[in-house]
Amino acid sequence: MSKQTLSFQAEVAQLLHLVTHSLYSNKEIFVRELISNASDACDKLRFEAINDGGLYENDAELKVKVTLDSVAKTLTITDNGIGMSAQEAIDHLGTIAKSGTKDFVSKLSGDQKADSQLIGQFGVGFYSGFIVADKITVESRRAGMKENEGVRWVSGGAGDFEVETITRPARGTSVILHLRDDAQDYTQAWKVKGIISKYSDHISLPILMEKEEWKDGELINPSDENGGRQPGAMVKTGEWESVNKANAIWARAKKDITQEQYNDFYKQISHDFEAPLAHTHNRVEGSTEYTQLLYLPAKAPMDLWNRDKKGGLKLYVKRVFIMDDAEALLPSYLRFVKGVVDSADLPLNVSRELLQESRDVKAIRDGCTKRVLSMLEDLAQHDKLPEASADGVTDVLNAEEKAQAEANVGKYSKFYAEFGAVLKEGLGEDFANKERLAKLLRFASSTTDAVSVSLADYKARMKEGQEAIYYITADTLAAAKNSPQLEVFKKKGIEVLLMTDRVDEWALNYLHDFDGTPMQSVAKGAVDLGKLQDEAEKKAAEDAAEVFKPLLAKLKEALKEKAEDVRVTTRLVDSPACLVVQDHGMSTQLARMLKQAGQSAPDMKPVLEVNAEHALVKKLDGSVHFNDLAHILFDQALLAEGGLPADPAAYVKRVNALLV
């Protein structure tokens, strides 16, 4: 192919402008990104060579070389990985997935440190080279292709790039950065080594730089040994040395790894700029052998609820990278966990399909799940400092334990605010760990707005004679707190859990009891407070139901299209009416959510419960507006729980007629 000039995809041009003008304050990230790309290229070769050893071309020692030239003002990063064909160079370097650029642009915040992390997150790391370079030359040849089928790609980062065929004896890729005048310090070996140590020390293949040694300047005047000497300089020796540890962090002993190194590795694999909340690093031996290094992020990723986004751990087999996002290694409800699993038992040519069927993978999945849950339990246990001893003088913990406990205070609350809703999915997905998950759940309640009440906390302060854990689901905290269904519980001082996550309705179908105590929705079935309701109250409710029989029959006839039944309630104190469903029926909130999501919901009618003591209900009997009042009563009960009347215009018309 002769030299030809091609235009960048429009979004790449926009991206280049943003990179060069928005991220200039954190220039050094280009080293991290280009070395990461080079390492990925070597991993891809290693993976493809499992089935075709000839791709190594008699050079199986994979490595990355960093070359500095202060005279030519260039920095070159070379790998002997998979390389690119001419068409791949055009496709990979001239275009990019539209969603990647769009999301990158939408997430720019003006925070230089935060924005710089997005470069790798959206797969646009190559373009970070333009932060320091006014021109980039890429020379590459794909493994297995002929020497005269190499490609040279050149661009100044403006609107176009040049591409031509070249002869390249070595497979792999060289990225040559022609540095700007204000970026010449990146030709200094000490600076580049420091950046590599900071960002890329964990890379599991050697990153090589040419050795330098100090050479004294020659004497201008040999007779004057103490003066007249030319300045000394660092001189390249022609030998290459590894400037990173070149062994995987998870393969090292825990005692040899600092917290900072753990955090740096997490940031590298997650493209997160915040340190993780916690990590666990273990070597598991037995029938299945593997090493796991797992992290709990501090913040939820923006695509946490994107069902099309693949999530999972990085899978290695005997230190050979196999795949990103190995979903089979953790259940879906733990998709926020980041980390690495390195197996000693899986075959090197394992595929996603084989992962789903492998007995060893099931053992790894179970082991990783238990480790993550153990991490969460530990954080939950130390979310608050233990109280001092009874005399108020002697602390429960010694100084070291207290310092560690103080460091963990609030971490679980922070985690739960970000990932609590996802964790609840496990109730329906992971029956083996349902009890452990139930203990990790936290809720607001009628006694506190803070999402801090565990089921164990609730049970510990249940009133004497209380036989169920009461809860209510709603769209918002305000709707839950002010629901008419809570009135009798507030009157009697009975705590009710307030559940406002969209997943709650679904998840609680799988949690029928906690530690032997049944879970009871206050919006389902008739209220049975058992021993908490005295005999006088029960008799008054029965008498009211008998007295109101004729009125209830009229209401049922008027609302036969809307309500399954109409009955006198014992749950209301201040409100005239509320809607409930039968014990095993689908709640109106869940039915609404299904319809909003375009799903079909069963055609069901709620039960209207009326408060026989309310003035409005008493006025119904004999009213000339009975039919209108009946419909208004039903629609207002629907509004109170966050729903909308089936015919809002008719509701408004009825209310206006009564107002007039």
**Helix (H), strand (E) at residue 75:** strand 74-79
Write the pLDDT tens digit of every residue in 365-375: 999 999 999 99
Q: Give the CATH number of the domain where residue 500 resides.
A: 3.40.50.11260
Asked if 178 and 201 sit in the same domain, the reply is yes
Average pLDDT over residues 619-638: 87
d(CA 184, CA 231): 20
Which residues, in sequence order, are CB contacts of 421 under 8 Å at separation 6+? 501, 502, 503
Q: Is pLDDT at 115 greater than 70 in this prediction?
A: no
DSSP assignment letter at 288: S
Write the pLDDT tens digit of every residue in 403-418: 666 777 889 999 999 9
Q: Is 395 among the domain residues?
A: no
Q: Is 372 among the domain residues?
A: yes
Burial pattern 356-369, b for ≥16 Cβ within 10 A else e, equals: eebebbebbbebbb
What average pLDDT does the structure give for the chain? 83
Asked if 550 and 479 sit in the same domain, the reply is no
Asked if 234 and 286 sit in the same domain, the reply is no
Q: Is pLDDT at 477 greater than 80 in this prediction?
A: yes
Residue 110 confidence (pLDDT)? 56
The one-letter amino acid code at 394 reads T
Cα separation values, 326 from 93, 281, 361, 575, Å: 26, 18, 10, 53
Residue 390 confidence (pLDDT)? 45
Domain that holds residue 373: 249-381
Q: Is pLDDT at 120 greater than 90 in this prediction?
A: no
Q: Is 388 among the domain residues?
A: no
Which residues, in sequence order, are CB contacts of 542 under 8 Å at separation 6+? none
Question: Over pLDDT 70: what percentage of the chain?
Answer: 82
The bridge status of strand 469-473 relative to strand 497-499 is parallel
Asked if 305 and 367 sit in the same domain, the reply is yes
Average pLDDT over residues 379-384: 87
What's the pLDDT band for 259 if we cut at 50, 70, 90?
very high
Q: Which of 215-219, 389-393, 410-414, 611-615 is least confident? A: 389-393
Q: Residue 569 — φ and ψ, nearest 5°?
A: -105, 155
- Is 586:597 a contact under the CB 8 Å cutoff? no
Residue 276 confidence (pLDDT)? 94
Which residues, in sequence order, are CB contacts of 407 under 8 Å at separation 6+? none
pTM of the model: 0.68
d(CA 360, CA 269): 24
Asked if 80 and 128 sit in the same domain, the reply is yes
Q: Is 396 among the domain residues?
A: no
Residue 409 confidence (pLDDT)? 82
SS3 content of the chain, % helix, strand, coil (to 5): 45, 20, 35
221 versus 646: the higher-pLDDT residue is 646
- Is 508:473 a contact under the CB 8 Å cutoff? yes
Residue 272 confidence (pLDDT)? 83
Residue 441 confidence (pLDDT)? 95
Residue 597 confidence (pLDDT)? 62
Q: Give the CATH number of the domain where residue 366 resides.
A: 3.30.230.80
Last residue within a domain, chosen from 460, 492, 521: 521
Q: Is pLDDT at 99 greater than 70 in this prediction?
A: no
Average pLDDT over residues 268-295: 90
- Is 138:89 a contact under the CB 8 Å cutoff? yes
What's the pLDDT band for 515 if we cut at 50, 70, 90?
very high
Q: Is 403 among the domain residues?
A: no
Asked if 461 and 515 sit in the same domain, the reply is yes
3-state SS assignment for residue 24: helix
In 166-287, which residue ranges form alpha helices assigned H by DSSP?
Answer: 189-199, 259-270
Residue 100 confidence (pLDDT)? 42
Last residue within a domain, chosen from 221, 242, 263: 242
The count of other CB atoms within 10 Å of the CB of residue 185 is 13
d(CA 300, CA 430): 21
Residues in the chain: 660
Which residues, in sequence order, are CB contacts of 194 under 8 Å at separation 6+? none
Asked if 516 and 538 sit in the same domain, the reply is no
**Helix (H), strand (E) at residue 161:** strand 160-166
Q: Give the CATH number of the domain where residue 548 resides.
A: 1.20.120.790
* β-bridge partners, 519: 469
Average pLDDT over residues 637-648: 85
Q: Give the CATH number of the domain where residue 174 resides.
A: 3.30.565.10
Asked if 81 and 119 sit in the same domain, the reply is yes
Asked if 374 and 441 sit in the same domain, the reply is no
388 versus 145: the higher-pLDDT residue is 145
**Helix (H), strand (E) at residue 451:** strand 448-453
Q: Per the structure, how many domains does the chain have?
A: 4
- Is 497:453 a contact under the CB 8 Å cutoff? yes
169 versus 270: the higher-pLDDT residue is 169
Q: Is 401 among the domain residues?
A: no
Asked if 11 and 145 sit in the same domain, the reply is yes
Write the pLDDT tens digit of every residue in 305-350: 776 677 789 888 877 777 778 888 999 999 999 999 999 888 866 7
Q: Which one, of 188, 187, 185, 204, lies nearest residue 242 by Cα?
A: 204
Asked if 148 and 291 sit in the same domain, the reply is no
d(CA 144, CA 130): 30
Residue 148 confidence (pLDDT)? 95
Q: Is pLDDT at 58 greater than 60 in this prediction?
A: yes
d(CA 83, CA 41): 7
Residue 382 confidence (pLDDT)? 86
Asked if 494 and 583 sit in the same domain, the reply is no
What's the pLDDT band for 19 if we cut at 50, 70, 90?
low
Cα separation values, 180 from 177, 193, 230, Å: 9, 20, 29
Question: Over pLDDT 90: what percentage of the chain?
Answer: 36
Q: Is 307 among the domain residues?
A: yes
Instruction: Determine the Cα angle at 428 with ends 423 and 432, to 5°.
Output: 90
Q: Is 260 among the domain residues?
A: yes
379 versus 355: the higher-pLDDT residue is 379
Name the token pair of 129: 């080279």
Last residue within a domain, chosen from 242, 259, 276: 242
Q: Is pLDDT at 98 greater than 50 in this prediction?
A: no
